């Protein structure tokens, strides 16, 4: 048996591997663009679902015969049933190809047509005329982009909520554990660790709200715009039917009511939603950074937190434990920051009727969502869940802090309080020793006014 078979497209004959389900346009792209990573399988599965919905809609509008339409649906169902590993064998194209995603759209059309031929060789199914009927790469690919972005967000949101829940457990447990506050990397008045955690929780809750508020902008699909937004060659009612069927498949509230010229040339919805991902990444960076600093040590750092020893930390230093989950979060955050620039620049390139940066835009978006989902889950399960407080160290730092002198200010004034702090610092004494030596207050007054827990207003907050 020959290793190749030959098919023709509008440019002439093309040799294709004998076992391949794809056709000449896919083979040309495979040879012309062996660049970078594969097109995400989420996009492939979305395109298959779009083709299936289109075949069903075309049957309902009488744009295609039921014989052909049902065969297309059957072929797609068999492809969708494949594992990711098996499906990838039929979709060899990379992200860095034509900026419209045309070659991946044609890869999908060709594979479906050849699969249909395998099922029933007596019915001719053509990639362009049948599988792609009433469609263009220019409207199917952006439709797939929105669908997979929403799908990715549905995985990210529970991960963020899971981290919030883990932090709330620690917040409640340590709500009355007093520690030194820090501003400008200098000692400040005390707060409780629970209060500190509540700030992180609030930031993540806001981030989750931003995503939930903005994601409906992705519900509007470009399908039905075909080549330039006019809907040429799409049957009346077809776009609405496709949106309805995709909504059922993905459990979403998708619509085809949007302006099609906008849908093909602009991706501001993805841009603004990725902005929310960037904001989440920024808040995660700060949280991870703070946690790993507070856990630094064990002898020569802040040493306020104990973190789980998930793996050996050094190839040369025995017994070393590193904040690896926090490091993974911060590295992922940097990638998201970079991807945000990619998404913004790609979104800005809607020249005339067509944006031609679609594959790199959606690849960057999906990478950001995936990185955040994975690192946030790992951070919650493998760091926050097992994190404990070194209460002895926290108490020691509070006792040695000079900024607790702020509690004396309402009683003896700012100026005299500052003098006491400066005297204690200069003499290397405790604040209490310096305060009593100043003669500005009695020991009883000092003990009453310097109630560390009371200074945090933790009970008033409730």
- Residue 187 φ/ψ, nearest 5 degrees: -60, 140
Residue 95 annotated as lining a ligand binding site: no
Is 102 labeled as ligand-binding? yes
Contact yes or no for 382/310 (Cβ under 8 A): yes
* Digit-coded pLDDT (tens) for 388-420: 999 999 999 999 999 999 999 999 999 999 999
pTM: 0.95
User: Active-site residue among 5, 65, 268, 314?
Assistant: 314
Place of tokens 């920024």: 282
342 is in an annotated binding site: no
In CATH, the architecture of 146-176+183-215+259-392 is Up-down Bundle (1.20)
Sign of CA dihedral 68, 71, 76, 77: positive
188: left (phi over 0), alpha (psi -120 to 50) or beta: beta
Radius of gyration (C-alpha) of the chain in whole angstroms = 30
How far is residue 404's CA from residue 422's CA, in Å, rounded to a whole number? Answer: 13
Per the annotation, does 429 bind a ligand?
no
| Structure confidence at residue 86 (pLDDT) | 98
Residues 6+ apart with CB under 8 A from 152: 42, 365, 366, 369, 370, 373
List the domain boundaries for the chain.
4-133, 146-176+183-215+259-392, 403-461
Dihedral class, residue 217 (left if φ above 0, else alpha if ψ from -120 to 50, else beta): alpha
**26 is known to lie in a ligand binding site:** no
Confirm whether 2 is a catalytic residue.
Answer: no
298-341 tens-digit pLDDT: 999 999 999 999 888 778 888 888 999 999 999 999 999 999 99
Percent of the chain past pLDDT 70, that is, above it, reads 99
Task: Express each pLDDT in 99-114 by its tens digit.
Answer: 999 999 999 999 999 9
Q: Is 100 annotated as a binding residue?
A: yes
CATH classification number, 403-461, choose in 3.40.50.300, 1.10.1660.10, 1.10.40.30, 1.10.1370.40: 1.10.40.30
Q: Is 70 annotated as ligand-binding?
A: no
Determine whether the annotation assigns residue 138 to a binding site. yes
For residues 98 and 138, what is the distance between their CA atoms, to the nearest angstrom? 11
101 is in an annotated binding site: yes
DSSP label at residue 199: H
Q: How far apart are CA 236 and CA 232, in angstroms?
A: 10
Q: Does the active-site annotation cover 29?
A: no
Second-level CATH architecture of 4-133 = Orthogonal Bundle (1.10)
Nearest alpha-carbon partner for 328 in 383, 279, 366, 273 = 383
Please state at what angle helix 137-173 crosses helix 268-294, rounded to 10 degrees. Answer: 30
Each residue of 269-283: pLDDT tens digit? Answer: 999 999 999 999 999
Q: Are 2 and 18 in contact (CB under 8 A)?
A: yes
Dig out the tokens for 15 from the structure: 């040799």
Q: Which of 2, 83, 184, 415 is catalytic?
A: 184
What are the angstrom distances between the C-alpha of 386 and each of 167, 199, 380? 11, 20, 9
For residues 163-183, average pLDDT = 98
């Amino acid at each position: 048996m020959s290793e190749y078979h030959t098919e023709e497209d509008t440019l002439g004959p093309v040799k294709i591997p004998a076992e391949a389900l794809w056709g000449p346009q896919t083979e040309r792209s495979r040879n012309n663009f062996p660049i970078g990573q594969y097109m995400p399988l989420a996009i492939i599965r979305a395109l298959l679902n779009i083709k299936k919905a289109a075949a069903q809609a075309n049957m309902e509008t009488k744009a295609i015969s039921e014989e052909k339409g049902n065969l297309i649906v059957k072929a797609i169902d068999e492809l969708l049933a494949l594992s990711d590993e098996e499906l990838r064998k039929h979709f060899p194209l990379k992200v860095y190809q034509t900026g419209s995603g045309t070659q991946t759209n044609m890869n999908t059309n060709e594979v479906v047509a050849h699969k249909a031929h395998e099922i029933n060789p007596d019915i001719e199914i053509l990639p362009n005329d049948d599988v792609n009927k009433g469609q263009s790469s220019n409207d199917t690919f952006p439709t797939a982009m929105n669908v997979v972005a929403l799908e990715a967000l549905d995985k990210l949101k529970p991960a963020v909520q899971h981290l919030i829940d883990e932090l709330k457990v620690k917040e409640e447990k340590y709500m009355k554990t007093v520690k030194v506050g820090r501003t400008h990397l200098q000692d400040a008045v005390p707060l409780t660790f629970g209060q500190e955690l509540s700030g992180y929780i609030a930031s993540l809750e806001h981030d989750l709200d931003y995503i939930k508020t903005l994601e409906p902008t992705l519900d509007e699909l470009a399908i039905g715009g075909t080549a330039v937004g006019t809907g040429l060659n799409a049957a009346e009612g077809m776009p609405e039917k496709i949106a309805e069927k995709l909504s059922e498949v993905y459990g979403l509230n998708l619509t085809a009511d949007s302006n099609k010229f906008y849908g093909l040339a602009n991706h501001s919805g993805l841009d603004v939603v990725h902005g929310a991902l960037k904001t989440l990444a920024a808040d995660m960076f700060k949280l991870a950074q703070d946690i790993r600093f507070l856990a630094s040590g064990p002898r020569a750092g802040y040493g306020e937190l104990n973190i789980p020893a998930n793996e050996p930390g050094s190839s040369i230093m025995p017994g070393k434990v590193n904040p690896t989950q926090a490091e993974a979060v911060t590295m992922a955050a940097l990638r998201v920051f970079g991807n945000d620039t990619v998404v913004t620049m790609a979104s800005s390139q809607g020249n005339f009727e067509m944006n031609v940066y679609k594959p790199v835009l959606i690849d960057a978006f999906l990478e950001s969502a995936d990185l955040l989902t994975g690192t946030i889950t790992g951070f919650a399960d493998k760091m926050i869940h097992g994190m404990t407080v070194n209460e002895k160290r926290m108490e020691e730092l509070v006792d040695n802090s000079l900024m607790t002198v702020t509690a004396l200010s309402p009683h003896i004034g700012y100026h005299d309080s500052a003098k006491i702090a400066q005297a204690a610092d200069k003499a290397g004494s405790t604040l209490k020793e310096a305060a009593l030596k100043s003669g500005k207050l009695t020991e009883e007054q000092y003990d009453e006014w310097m109630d560390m827990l009371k200074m945090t207003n933790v009970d008033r907050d409730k």
